[in-house]
Structure 1
Amino acid sequence: MSADQPSGMAPLASLGQRFLARVVDTVILIVLDVVLSAAVFGGDLSNPGDAGRSKEILAGAATFIAYFLYEGAMTAARGQTLGKMLLRIRAARLEDGAVPGGVGWTRAAVYALPGVLVTILIGPLFWLLNSLWCTWDKPFRQCLHDKAARTVVVAAV
C-alpha cells in the first residue's frame, strides 16, 4: 500500500478522472439550468433580462438546489454521480471505504449549494477553490467537500 492511499481501500482516483467526471456532471448542471430557466421564464429564453433580476436569481438558485439533490441522492446511495459512473470512480468514506450514505448529502451541500451565491461572486470563487483543493492536498487528494464529509474518491472496483 502506498502512503497516498487509505488503508484497505481501492486506489485513489486520478485528478484526470475526477476532472472528467466533473465535466460530465457540469453538462448535467447546464441541462438542468436550461430546463429550469425555461420553466421560470415561461419558455422564452431569448431575452431573460426582460423578466427581471429576481427571476434570474430564482432560476439560478433552483438550478443549484436541483444539482444538490442530484449530487446528494446519487452520492449517498451509491457513491457515484453519472460522471463518476462513466469514469469508474466513486466517493468513499475515508475511515472504511464504504458508500458515503448520509455524509453524501454533506459532501453535496458543500459542493453544490455555494453556487446559489453566484450572483454575489462568492459561489464561483468558492467553487473554484473547492475544486482545485485536491491538486495540492496530501495525502488523499481531497477537495473541501471531501474534507467536510470525510470522504475520498477512489477507483470503483
Structure 2
Amino acid sequence: MVGYLIIGGIIRSAFSTEETLFGVTISTPTFAGMLISAIVTFLLYAAYEFFLVSRDGQTIGKKVMKIRVVKLGGSVHGGLDTETLAKRIGVLWGPQLLAFNVFLNALGGLFSLVNVLWPLWDKPLQQAIHDKVAGTVVVKL
C-alpha cells in the first residue's frame, strides 16, 4: 500500500494535466504517469517479495504470522530459488502492471481478489493461484 499510495501518487501527480470544470480544478494523470507508476510500484512489490522470500521464505508479515513459503516437497528451512520466485511474483504482483488503464486495472484487481481468496476452497493444500503456478505452499511454523 505504501508503494502504491505514496510513490505511485507522487509519480502520477508529476505526470498530470490540470483542467478546470465548473470552477473546480481537476488534476488528471497522463498515460505516461499511470504507466510509470504501475511499473515502479510493481518493481517495489517484486523486490520486497524477492529479497525477503529468497532469503528465508518469509516477508515481515509472514514472520509476524509465523508462516513461511516453501517449495512443494522441499525443506521448511531456507528460501526459494529464483525461478520459483519469478513465477510466484509474476502471478501475485503481475496484475499491478495493468494499473495504467482503468478497465485493465479492474480486471487485474478482480484476478488478484480471486487469487488471494483461492485458498479458502482449495483442498487439501489451500494454495493460492500464485502458489499453484510456482509449486509452493505456505506452512505454519
Q: TM-score, normalised by structure 2?
A: 0.76
One-letter amino acid of the counterpart of residue 97, structure 1: S
Aligned-pair CA distance for 1:104: 2.3
* SS at structure 2 position matched to 1:153: strand
Q: Which residue of 2 aligns with 1:126?
A: 111
Please state how far the C-alpha of 1:54 moved relative to its aligned partner: 2.4
Deviation string, structure 1 residues 84-141 (Cα, Å, up to 9, x no partner): 1111111011112343222123211210012211321221121111111111111100
Structure 2 CA distance for aligned equivalents of residues 68 and 48 of structure 1: 29
Give the % identical residues.
31
Return the structure number with greater relative CO, CA threshold 8 A, min gap 6. Answer: 1
Higher strand share: 2
Q: CA RMSD in A?
A: 2.3
8 A Cα contact 1:93 1:150, kept in partner? yes
Number of equivalent positions? 125
Q: Indicate whether 1:146 and 2:126 are aligned.
A: no
**What residue in structure 2 maps to residue 72 of structure 1?**
50
Gapped regions of structure 2 (runs ≥ 5): 17-25
Task: Please say which structure displays the higher CA radius of gyration.
Answer: 2
CA distance in 2, matches of 1:71, 1:48: 32
Matched residues in 2 for 1:48 and 1:140: separation?
46
